[in-house]
Amino acid sequence: MSQAVASSENPRNISLQLDSPELASTYEEVSVRQFNHGKVLIASLGIRSGERVLDIGCGTGRLGDYVANIVAPDGLVHGIDPLPLRIDIADKKHPLFEASVGRAEDLSAFADASFDVVYLNSVFHWVPDKPKALREIARVLKPGGRFGVNSADEERPHQTATLVRDAVREEGLTEAAAASGFGTNYRVSGAQLGQLLKDAGFDAVAVDPHTFVDDVTGVDDLIAWSTSSSFGNFLSDLDASQRARVRTRLAQKLEDLRGPDGIKLKRHLVFATGNKR
C-alpha cells in the first residue's frame, strides 16, 4: 500500500473494495518509488541474516522479497496486507517470504515477542487507529526488537497532491472530489510520529524527514501510480467525464514542469525508528 489520496478529515471515504486485479498488477509494476524509499527504511534497521521480520502493509511483496534475501538462509519475513489481490502476488515471491491477509491494528495471528524487526513502509498514513497498531507491534516484538515506519508528512504535502488539488479546483470540482481527491489519509507530522512511538513504549526513538524526487513520464504515469497506490480511491468520487477533465488539466500542469531532464516531482515523507523497551 502507499501514497494516499483522501483528506484526513474524511476517513469514511477510504474503501478497501475498489481494488482490482488490474490495479494490483499495475502497482506491482509502478511501485518502484515506494520500493526505493523502503530500502532507506530497511537500511536504518540493520536487519541481519537469521532474523524474523514482520512487513505490515506489504502490498505485492517487492520490499518483503528484498528483505527475505537479507535474512536468508535461516530467517523469515512474514507480510500482511488487507488487500487479498495483492497478497496473491506477494505470496509467489521469495520462499522465505510468507504473505497473508491482515491489518496493522490486529496482529492476533502472531504470538507475543515473535519478531526481531517490524516495519511499515508507505502504509502508516492508511492506518486509522495508530495507537492500537503500535501497541500490537510492541507486543509481537521481542524485547529490544527494532521498529521502523515512514508516513506521508502532514506538514509537507507531496508535489503531486498539490498539482491534483489545483487541477480539481480549476475545473470547479473541489466539492465533488473533496473526500477522495487529494492528500493522504491519517497523515502525521514528525513530532506526532515520534510521540506516538514513545507513547507505545519505544526507546531510542529517532525521527528523520526525507524528500524524494521522482521522475514522472507524464499524466498517465502519475495517474496509474496514484490510482494503484491508493487501491482505487484516487478521484473515486468523480465520474468518468469529470476525471477526464482533471486529467487534461493535470497533463498541462505536468508539461509546464517538463525540463531538459524530464518531469521531476518531490515527495515528502517522515521516517521514524525505535526499540522495544
Domain annotation covers residue 163: no
CATH of the domain at 113: 3.40.50.150
pTM of the model: 0.92
**pLDDT tens figures, 133-159:** 999 999 999 999 999 999 999 999 999
**pLDDT tens figures, 6-42:** 333 344 468 899 999 999 999 999 999 999 999 999 9
Domain annotation covers residue 165: no
User: How many domains does the chain divide into?
Assistant: 1
118 grid coordinates: 517490524
d(CA 92, CA 23): 17
Domain annotation covers residue 244: no
For residue 67, give its domain range.
11-154+184-213+268-276
pLDDT the model gives residue 13 = 64
pLDDT band at 5 (very low <50, low <70, confident <90, very high): very low
pLDDT band at 77 (very low <50, low <70, confident <90, very high): very high
Q: Quick check: helix, strand or coil at residue 117?
A: strand
| Crossing angle of the two packed helices 130-140 and 190-199, in degrees rounded to 10 | 50
